[in-house]
Amino acid sequence: MKTHKQIKDWGLGLSGPLIIAGPCSAESPEQIEKICIEMKEENVIPSMFRAGIWKPRTRPGSFEGIGEEGLKWMEIVRHHLNIPITVEVGNAAHAEIALRNKVDVVWVGARTTVNPFAVQEIADALKGTDIPVMVKNPMNPDLDLWMGALERFHAVGLTKLAAIHRGFSDAYDKRFRNKPNWSMPMHLKRVWTGMEVINDPSHIVGKRDGILEISQKAMNFGLDGLMIETHHDPDNAWSDAKQQVTPKRLKEILAAIDFKKPLESEQPNERLNDLRRAVDHLDDQLLDILQERFAVIDQIGAHKREHHLSVFQSDRWKDVMESRTQKGVQKNLSEKFMKELLYSIHEESVKRQEKQLRESEAVKK
Ligand code: PEP
Ligand code: MN
């Protein structure tokens, strides 16, 4: 088992649930000061202040971050709020500059987590320090890649670690900027005992509305904190203008969330309800996947029709049965269950393709 230090043991006086707030990007000393003053006036002091200094932008030409100069402005945060500061690092040079400027915690962004070379480079640059590192999930839903990045930091002796769930890029589902996958952070917490996962509703939702709902969901799933982009004038922010909230709104969101810890809940029914909610969500995912699978099956049907291939192809079927059953057994599912499941899916696939064929022949006649 990998041992790491949980957030409360980072030596920064932090306790859960961790609330990280601050702008997507540091823009000017005035902007940083205004945000801090509004946080103070609204009495909504986060556990940690975030600010993007180097911004990984999808397309060139947008604001790519203020760079090292912005780190000097973090003194303003210390002066007004006296809370730890966290920034994103995307390469070894960023990591060195962050260390030189006494940043308290660094995080690795989703676009960096996908690249093991970049992650290793950052880990090597931070080696020998004990700076806490938070790792956002990669852009694609790959738990191994996410775990792998955490392992690279752990392997160089950095033990103050946490993960951040910011959702996954999805070309089809336009409800989210980055689609959440609640089973993945829950799985990470199971396989890496004690690993805390902060939720980032801002990058999941991509707009101001819905941040409360996703934050509440994250708490219901037992995640350990929230990272919410906060700006005094969100509409005029230099990056992610649509999703940032004012300190006033942040306060309302935090006041509305029920922060009970589901898995440590004292009432057994509460725990059962939370677990059932998790099952409901997983079933939704299962149905989405089945829907997607049958859509592909329909495309295969059309292709077979066009090329006068038979609907049932025994070699392919044998291969699917064997390989999936084997994979299922490795995942602790019984062979009998796997076979029944696959027969039932296959039967439905054949029926759909035969129905398609009958319909197209009826049209021809
Ligand atoms: C950010 O936190 O501003 C950011 C760029 O996030 P992500 O890496 O999740 O896209
Ligand atoms: Mn952002």
How far apart CA 89 and CA 94 sit, in angstroms, is 5
> Residue 188 pLDDT more than 80?
yes
For residue 24, the CA-to-ligand 2 centroid distance in Å is: 4
What pLDDT, on a 0 to 100 scale, did the predictor assign at position 58? 84
Domain 18-265 homologous superfamily, CATH: Aldolase class I (3.20.20.70)
Q: Which residue has the tokens 């806490």?
A: 132
Q: Are the CB atoms for 180 and 150 separated by under 8 Å?
A: no
Q: How many CB atoms lie within 10 A of CB 155?
A: 12
Task: Determine what percent of the chain is predicted with pLDDT higher than 70.
Answer: 96
Coil, strand or helix at 49: strand
pLDDT of 279: 86
* 45: exposed, middle or buried (Cβ count in 10 Å: 0-12, 13-18, 19+): middle
Phi and psi angles of residue 190, each rounded to the nearest 5 degrees, phi first: -75, -45
What pLDDT score was predicted for residue 121?
98
Mean pLDDT (whole number) for 6-21 = 96
Name the residue of 203, 230, 242, 244 whose CB sits within 8 Å of the most ligand 1 atoms, as the mutation to test its pocket: 203
d(CA 358, CA 363): 9
Q: What local confidence, expressed as pLDDT, does residue 271 receive?
A: 66
Is the predicted pLDDT of residue 365 greater than 80, yes or no?
no
The CATH 3.20.20.70 portion of the chain extends over 18-265
- Region 239-255 average pLDDT: 97
Q: Rounded to an integer, what distance in angstroms lies between the CA atom of residue 18 and that of residue 40?
A: 18
Q: How far is the CA of 275 from the centre of ligand 1 (A)?
A: 29
Ligand 2 centroid distance, CA of 61 (Å) = 16
pTM tops 0.85, yes or no: no
Pocket of ligand 1 (CB under 6 A): 24, 52, 56, 88, 109-111, 136, 166, 200, 203
Q: Supply the pLDDT for residue 357.
A: 85
Residue 98 has pLDDT above 50, yes or no: yes
Ligand 1 atom index nearest CA of 166:
9
Q: Which of 114, 166, 176, 228 to mutate to test the pocket of ligand 1 (most atoms within 8 A of CB)?
A: 166
* Nearest Cα residue to atom 4 of ligand 1: 109
Q: What is the pLDDT of residues 251-300, one digit of tens each?
A: 999 999 999 755 444 456 666 776 787 788 788 889 989 999 999 999 99
Res. 75: pLDDT tops 90:
yes
For residue 135 the two structure tokens come to 């790792």
Contact between residue 104 and residue 48 where contact means Cβ atoms under 8 Å apart: yes
- Tell me which residue has its CA closest to atom 1 in ligand 1: 24
pLDDT exceeds cutoff 50 at 346: yes
d(CA 338, CA 328): 6
Which residues, 6+ apart, have CB-to-CB distance to 119 below 8 Å? 108, 112, 113, 148, 149, 152, 153
According to CATH, where is 1.20.59.10 located in the chain? 269-364
The answer to whether 216 and 257 are in contact (CB under 8 A) is yes
CATH architecture of the domain covering 269-364: Up-down Bundle (1.20)
pLDDT of amino acid 105: 98
CA angle 47, 26, 20 (to 5 degrees): 15
Q: How far is the CA of 229 from the centre of ligand 2 (A)?
A: 7
Task: Please give the Cα distance from 277 to 45 (Å, whole number).
Answer: 31
Mean pLDDT of 239-262: 93
Pick the ligand that lies closest to the CA of residue 51. 1
- pLDDT tens, position by position, 110-156: 999 999 999 999 999 999 999 999 999 999 999 999 999 999 999 99
Ligand closest to 242 (CA) is 2
pLDDT of 84 over the 70 cut: yes
Q: Which atom of ligand 1 lies at the shortest distance from residue 55's CA?
A: 5
* Contact call for residues 25 and 66 (beta carbons, < 8 A): yes
Helices (H), ranges, the chain:
29-41, 69-72, 74-81, 92-100, 110-113, 116-126, 143-155, 183-191, 201-205, 211-220, 247-256, 268-306, 314-330, 335-364
Contact 216, 201 (CB under 8 A): no
Q: How far is the CA of 206 from the centre of ligand 2 (A)?
A: 9
pLDDT value for 40: 98
